[in-house]
Structure 1
Amino acid sequence: MKLGLHYWNFSNPAEPAAIAPTLRETALVAEQAGVASFTVMDHYFQMDQYAPAEEPMLEGYTTLGYVAALTQKMTLGLLVTGVMYRHPGLLAKIVTTLDVLSGGRARLGIGASWYEREQRGLGVPVVPVAERFERLEETLQICLQMWSGKGGEFNGAHYQLTEVLNSPAAISTPHPMIMIGGGGEKKTLRLVAKYADACNLFGTSKEDLAHKLDVLREHCAAEGRDYDTIVKTALVTRPALVDPDAWLAEVESFAALGITEVMTMPDRNPLEFANGLAEKILPRLASI
């Protein structure tokens, strides 16, 4: 079982001058301890159902570029990129840039986006949910075409590209891993089956995960996709350090379903949290 650290909060400490040193030290401790992936959110306001929107938030890909320069092993990505925030052609270039500068460690985590407060606040177009999923599918098609090296044009309902050029090519082969986040049964998991290398589900319970994976298996059958070729990951909502025994037991139950990577979120100062993972979680996780 692999462990990912999802760095979702920049409020501890909240002083702007302390954010970068804390991020740096947390990433270094995490990588040295054996954390496999490092992710941040694709938000510009903090999520207001968890904390005040005014709390500190950094732009995701800039943050990952900083972490890439500090680390050597961890996979880097957003959990997950909001499809409305970047034009698909530019997104493919951004992820390629991260992949090249990190030595092939970029992962495209992507979803349909949802946080309308920040979209309206910053002037991002707000479109109906059905259109967001149409745009998500076209974005996946554009990224795959750009990473194929074949060039040409792309003519979709929402995006038109006259020159699909991407140089330099990504280092990851055949391209950076595409991870689609979310558990929507009609649209999201269908897109996973059709386009993605990995899925990311909310690890709320073993029963819920089992159901989502059954739905994914059905979509794979409909798409002619080998279900076993998709990497299954889960964001574990249970705090890892409050009760490590309970957390590890839950993760072990997820592993039995075929989950091979779990992500955990700091519930305290992130450097303290990373040290706690190194001491209490990672030595035991290796046996799962």
Structure 2
Amino acid sequence: MTIRLGLQIPNFSYGTGVEQLFPTVIAQAREAEAAGFDAVFVMDHFYQLPLLGSPDQPMLEAYTTLGALATATERINLGALVTGNTYRNPALLAKIITTLDVVSAGRAILGIGTGWFELEHEQLGFEFGTFTDRFHRLEEALQIIVPMIKGERPTFSGTWYHVREAMAEPRFRAHIPLLIGGRGKRRRSRWPPGTSITSISSRGSTSCPTKSPSCSGVAKKSAATRPHWKPVR
């Protein structure tokens, strides 16, 4: 079994001032690449998470950041761990991820989940609803996103989303890796056949401390840990 290592950047509070904030992010991504990590991930949040800091701490928008990191790195894969489905129309997200794949020359990973941070939804005007609502929205979204990133032109009419012959061109690859974030029982009946899907949870994840002089030690340590990307199909 091949173990793949991903580094998640959990915050942007470096104490450097805004001028050096993104150069520090670039340095982390390049160091992870040099250390042998397979992927670097950012969080798809607009506010910092309660366990990591106050809501007003620096937080960069995920896909703008990933697009910029694509031009500053060469080998490492790039993704959001995970994208909040409630924050973007699924057809728009399909376009964003295929664009990132083109910009990065085939290094995009789509991580996606239901969305859970209620404060962001309340203050920024995103509909939150119940967990059941968000779960069904994700199921519908995948029926649009997956065909689009595979080059198909889906027509779909659901409770939450509607598209007609939606396209996402150009595409760099025929398939983009898809990670489904969450816990509990999996429902896969509506996911298109042949889709490469992986489920993930926070258990067993590894992060590199902000002030760490090197990520190399983390890479060596992580190689012996239990992988937290578990194939679904």
Q: Normalized against structure 2, the TM-score is what?
A: 0.87
Residue 172 of structure 1 aligns to a residue whose secondary structure is coil
Residue 202 of structure 1 aligns to a residue whose secondary structure is coil
Q: Is the 8 A contact 1:154 1:164 kept in 2?
A: no
Change (3 A) 1:107 1:100: same
- Considering fraction of residues, name the structure with more helix: 1
Where does structure 2 lack aligned partners over 5 or more consecutive residues? 226-233
Partner of 1:268: 210
Partner of 2:230: none
TM-fit CA distance, 1:115: 0.4
Partner of 1:83: 85
Counterparts of 2:55 and 2:152, CA distance in 1: 42
Return the match for 1:156 from 134, 141, 158: 158
Counterparts of 2:188 and 2:104, CA distance in 1: 27
Change (3 A) 1:114 1:281: closer
- Write the deviation string for residues 102-155 of structure 1: whole angstroms up to 9, x where unpaired: 011111100000101011111111222111111101111101221233324211
What code does the residue aligned with 1:183 have? R
Partner of 1:199: 199
Change (3 A) 1:81 1:121: same
Return the match for 1:19 from 18, 21, 35: 21
Q: Normalized against structure 1, the TM-score is what?
A: 0.71
Return the match for 1:52 from 42, 51, 54: 54
- Write the deviation string for residues 230-261 of structure 1: whole angstroms up to 9, x where unpaired: xxxxx42xxxxxxxxxxxxxxxxxxxxxxxxx
TM-fit CA distance, 1:88: 0.3
Counterparts of 2:188 and 2:166, CA distance in 1: 22
Counterparts of 2:146 and 2:223, CA distance in 1: 34
Partner of 1:190: 187
Return the match for 1:104 from 106, 118, 121: 106
Residue 5 of structure 2 aligns to a residue whose secondary structure is strand
| Structure number, greater radius of gyration | 1
What code does the residue aligned with 2:178 have? I
Question: Which is worse superposed, 147-156 or 97-106?
Answer: 147-156
Q: Is the 8 A contact 1:145 1:164 kept in 2?
A: no
Partner of 1:172: 173
Counterparts of 2:132 and 2:224, CA distance in 1: 42
Change (3 A) 1:121 1:35: same
TM-fit CA distance, 1:284: 5.8
| CA-atom RMSD in angstroms | 2.1
State the percentage of identical aligned residues: 39
TM-fit CA distance, 1:162: 2.0
Q: Is the 8 A contact 1:37 1:76 kept in 2?
A: yes
Change (3 A) 1:284 1:118: closer
What code does the residue aligned with 1:180 have? I
TM-fit CA distance, 1:163: 2.9
Counterparts of 1:150 and 1:32, CA distance in 2: 36
Residue 187 of structure 2 aligns to a residue whose secondary structure is helix
Where does structure 1 lack aligned partners over 5 or more consecutive residues? 204-234, 237-263
Partner of 1:65: 67
Counterparts of 1:71 and 1:192, CA distance in 2: 37
Q: Does 1:142 align with 2:79?
A: no
Counterparts of 1:27 and 1:6, CA distance in 2: 10
Counterparts of 1:37 and 1:192, CA distance in 2: 29
TM-fit CA distance, 1:192: 9.5
Q: Is the 8 A contact 2:121 2:128 kept in 1?
A: yes
Change (3 A) 1:115 1:31: same
Q: How many residues align?
A: 220
